[in-house]
Amino acid sequence: MEQEYVLITDFCTSHDIETHFILQLYDNGLVDIVLKENSYYLPLKQLPKAEKIVRLYSELDINLEGIEVITQLLKRIEKMQAEIIYLKNKLDLYE
Amino acid sequence: MKFIDYYKILGLNKDAKPNDIKKAYRKLARKYHPDVNPNDKEAEKRFQEINEANEVLSDPEKRKKYDKYGKDWQHAEEFEKARSSQQSAYGQSRRKGYSQNYGAHDFSDFFESMFGGATADFSRQRTTRFRGQDFNAELKLHLRDVYTTHKQTLTVNGKNIRITVPAGIENGQTIKISGHGGPGHQGGPNGDLYITFSIINDTQFKRDGNNLYTTVNLELYKALLGGEITVNTFDGQVKLKVKPETQNGSQVKLKGKGFPVYKKNNAFGDLYITYNIVTPKNLTEKEKTLIKELAALRKNK
């Protein structure tokens, strides 16, 4: 448990945010959390995503709805960037 | 070292009010923040500039010093000495700024020269973190290097890391080395190291995923009558039978002679060979006569 998950309270204390915020992210399908022995945990794999959301929220003052839109658009950007790399490599065939 | 116009970076006049600075910074930060501009080095650079401009202009002490010296900033050191006796440390009541994951750890030489490393160090510590910072690195390799799985030692931020480079990795592909980023804080895990591969192809082969492509010159008579030739593949030479009446530009496939399939042991793509038929030059009189005879035969057929 300790190696794969992080206590949400620890995460929130470290980022100076309310636990409620992470639960809201979960309710909006933005992060996965796990309930075990009456404590909420964040899977380690979710940490980069959760921290990015925290940055958008606390540093850029973007609300949850905005974060949802940005998250969707970023997924599309990342997919398109992967396609660009694939197509650039393909283009080398003809150069 | 060049003077940096922080007002220009934020699109402000010199008489800008603190609220104008805050608004301009926020607007530009939303536009160029690396979290909303993934893999965009230009945006990252702009964000660093914006961060630095804000660092100076939103801090009354720094702004005063910057405004006083402006383009004559190189005399700032004298200014510092003169006021050192009454100086207290900067930033006792600093505002909360953006994460040092982006930008603030890369202040310009101009900034360091005017405000010193100590101030910059303070900035680096200003935001709380949990998970360590992710590091990004680019590794340039030749196509031959990624034909076989091999180990390689990299130096990232002064530390040596031995990584396995899997055969068949693609140009532009990024792999994650978990836990090799910056150290975690307050019990948080380390960040990750992301390595993007830039693969230089200086071979005769063109690569498309797992398949390789090459062109082989074929002499005219071998193309007409068929025969055997030796061709280069990526891992050595092989003998290849040429069918009679092979056409120029025709292609043959050598199954399993292509590039290794990423993370699939002993699986290889194919090698496609395109024939380029080369007609003879400097014909002798006898050759010309015989070819004319051949042409006539073909005409009468």
Closest partner CB to B99 (pick from A59, A85, A93):
A59
Q: Write the pLDDT tens digit of every residue in B91-132.
A: 333 333 344 344 445 678 788 777 775 444 333 333 456 888
B216 and B273 fall within a common domain: yes
Phi, psi of B89 (to 5 degrees): -60, 145
3-state class (DSSP) for residue A34:
strand
What residues of chain A score a pLDDT lower than 70?
Answer: 1-3
Is B168 within a domain? yes
B82 and B167 fall within a common domain: no
Buried b (16+ CB within 10 A) or exposed e, B73-98: beebeeeeeeeeeeeeeeeeeeeebb
**pLDDT at position B84:** 52
Inter-chain touch B129–A14, beta carbons under 8 Å: yes
Shortest distance, CA B68 to any CA of chain A (angstroms): 30
Residues whose CB is less than 8 angstroms from the CB of residue B268 and which lie 6 or more positions away in sequence, other chains included: B210, B256, B257, B258, B259, B260, B261
Q: Which residue has the tokens 């496939």?
A: B253
Q: At B14, which CATH number?
A: 1.10.287.110
Closest partner CB to B128 (pick from A16, A56, A81):
A16
* Tokens read off for B65: 């010093």
Phi, psi of A48 (to 5 degrees): -60, -40
Inter-chain touch B208–A44, beta carbons under 8 Å: no
Is B233 within a domain? yes
**pLDDT at position B80:** 57
Q: Domain containing B268: what range?
A: 206-300
**pLDDT at position B220:** 96
B174 and B222 fall within a common domain: no
What residues of chain B score a pLDDT lower than 50?
Answer: 85-104, 118-127
Residue among A4, A31, A57, A89 with most chain B CBs within 10 A, to mutate: A89
**pTM for this predicted structure:** 0.75
Q: CB pairs under 8 A, 24+ apart, for B86-91?
A: B89/B122, B90/B59, B90/B61, B90/B62, B90/B115, B90/B119, B90/B122, B91/B59, B91/B119, B91/B122, B91/B123, B91/B126
Is B1 within a domain? no
The answer to whether residue B158 neighbours chain A at the CB level (below 8 Å) is no
Q: At A71, which CATH number?
A: 1.10.1660.10
- Which of residues B185, B200, B215 is at a domain's end? B200
Closest partner CB to A14 (pick from B172, B188, B206):
B188
Is B265 within a domain? yes
> Distance between CA B45 and CA B33 in Å, rounded?
10
> What residues of chain B lie within 8 A of the CB of A59, using their CB?
29, 33, 98-99
Smallest CA-to-CA distance from A33 within A17, A49, A14 is with: A49
**pLDDT at position B104:** 41
Q: Which residue has the tokens 């929220």?
A: A57
Count of domains observed in chain A: 1
So what's the ipTM on this one? 0.83
- Tell me the torsion sign for CA atoms B103, B104, B106, B110: positive
Count of domains observed in chain B: 3
Max distance between CA atoms of chain B, in angstroms, equals 109
Q: Identity (one letter) of the amino acid at A21? A: F
B48 and B69 fall within a common domain: yes
**pLDDT at position B3:** 84
Calculate the CA dihedral of residues B169, B171, B172, B174 and round it to 10 degrees: 10
Smallest CA-to-CA distance from B52 within B128, B105, B117 is with: B105
